[in-house]
Structure 1
Amino acid sequence: MTWTMNSCFVTLAILFLWRVEEMAEACSCSPAHPQQAFCSSDVVIRAKVVGEEEVDAGNDIYGNPIKRIKYDIKQIKMFKGPTQDIDAIYTAPSSAICGVTLETNGKKEYLITGKLEADGTMHVTLCDFIEPWEALSATQKKSLTQRYETGCDCKITRCTSIPCTISSPTECLWTDWVIEKIYNGEQAKHFACIKRSDDSCAWYRGSAPPKKDFLDIEDP
């Protein structure tokens, strides 16, 4: 009887450890405003995915092979990145470790943000901002070339519950979650956090460039 109880205890302990490992491996990301994603990324491109294959990416510290998914892409436009075109992006093979799944029929266009590795390859995760091009608002599309970069010195602070405040005039308070209970709300779709003429930052609505001495939020 004692042996049976000990055996059950060991089995439960093993199952518990497996569950902890699974939870530890699960991908977890903090929501980011599209402008934050643009500013923190090495590469921002518009592209179609035209192919997919699993490739070897060396070995881990235990000698086990590391697999990656390689997506062959057709770059349409680069908004931020190296001088040469990107013809492939790499990601982990599972969503549990932040791997990204993309359509590979070459029909859907994506906005893809990611990191540039030392060898010149582009890597993406579920924490990067990757959206179908058609799902972006007109302001988001325009801001990729006209607005987001001018506000990269500003800080967007996410508000998750009331009250929430900013601690610096260079911050913009992102309130989509507390107001609409979604992160892809009005501020994400239609606003950019822009540095003003007095070096403070404020939300700016619309895709047209702000006035040279812009001081207040205004609708063009």
Structure 2
Amino acid sequence: MTWTVSGCVVTLAILFIWRVDDLAEACSCAPAHPQQAFCNSDVVIRAKVMSANRVAVGSDVYGNPVKRLKYDIKLIKTFKGPSQDIDAVYTAPISSLCGVTLDLEGQMEYLIMGKLETDGTVHVTLCDFIEPWESMSPIQRKSLTQRYEMGCGCKITRCESVPCTLSSETECLWTDWVMDNNVSGNQAKHFACIQRSDSSCAWYRGAAPPKKDFLDIEEP
């Protein structure tokens, strides 16, 4: 009897550890260039976070209430999305379920990219591109209205280790990870991948094409 109880305890402990690991890995996602995130998102807005509270948004298959964290926002500008005003964004209540934590202290302004649900609500996760507005570069801000959409027909391929190659003229090689050791480097902050008149794609910075020496490094 003692062995049986211990065995059950061990089994439960193993199941618990497995479940925790499963939750921890549930939110893994590959980093995306801001342009990729823009093109893949239903909604792209600039907003100020005003308050937050937990709300019930329905029930699961067992009848248990499903909770979401609701951030009430003040919409400043819509770059992509529905014509109606958005007054809130929803996320999972904990980070292990991809829940997003936004700063409430200073009512910060954020660039928020997310998914538009069928009921008209906006849902965001840790895999979405969400950045404080002040931390974005001038070119990133400009690209939200003038650049990123022009490149949605292009593919941005992330280089994780050299050598890196492209398989198509419609790709741009994203090398921030190998050049700057992070995914918020020079290309993410200052470049957009734009489709040219011949349907090929190339990195584009501001009002002038990228320097040739940069292209030699980025596109071997």
| TM-score, normalised with respect to structure 1 | 0.90
Q: Deviations over 1:18-49 (max 9, x none)?
A: 12211222221210100011000000000001
Q: Residue 44 of structure 2 corresponds to which residue in structure 1?
A: 44
* Alpha carbons 1:143, 1:192 under 8 Å: kept: yes
1:123 maps to what in 2?
123
Q: Partner of 1:213 in structure 2?
A: none
Provide the rounded CA distance (Å) in 2 between the counterparts of 1:90 and 1:146: 28
- Per the alignment, residue 137 of structure 2 pairs with 137
TM superposition shift of 1:10: 3.3
Which residue, 17, 23, 26 being the options, matches 1:25? Answer: 23
Q: Distance in 2 between matches of 1:71 and 1:51?
A: 6
After superposition, the Cα gap between the structure-2 partners of 1:8 and 1:161, relative to the gap in structure 1 and judged at 3 Å, is farther
- Structure 1, 5-14 or 74-83: larger mean CA deviation: 5-14
Structure 1 Cα separation of the partners of residues 199 and 60 of structure 2: 46
Equivalent position SS for 2:71:
strand
**Matched AA of 2:204:** Y
Aligned ranges 1:16-95 → 2 under 5 Å: 16-26=14-24, 27-95=27-95
Task: Pick from 7, 10, 13 the counterpart of residue 11 of structure 2.
Answer: 13
1:59-101 deviations in Å (ceiling 9; x for gaps)? 1112211000111100001100111111111111000100111
Moved more, 24-33 or 76-85: 24-33
Q: Shift of residue 13 of structure 1?
A: 2.6
Which residue type is aligned with residue 109 of structure 2? E
Structure 1 residue runs of 5 or longer lacking an equivalent are 211-215
Partners in 2 of 1:4 and 1:143 — Cα distance? 67
Q: Decide whether the 8 Å contact of 1:48 with 1:106 is kept in 2.
A: no
Q: What is the aligned partner in structure 2 of residue 162 from structure 1?
A: 162
Mapped pair 1:176 → 2:176: yes
Corresponding residue number in structure 2 for 1:103? 103
Deviation at 1:53, TM superposition (A): 1.2
User: What is the Cα-based RMSD across aligned positions, in Å?
Assistant: 1.6
Which structure 1 residue ranges, 4+ long, deviate > 6 Å from structure 2? none
Residue segments in structure 2 that go unaligned for 5+ positions in a row: 213-220
Corresponding residue of 2:216: none
Q: Identity of paired residues, percent?
A: 65
Select between 12-21 and 136-145 the one with higher mean Cα deviation.
Answer: 12-21
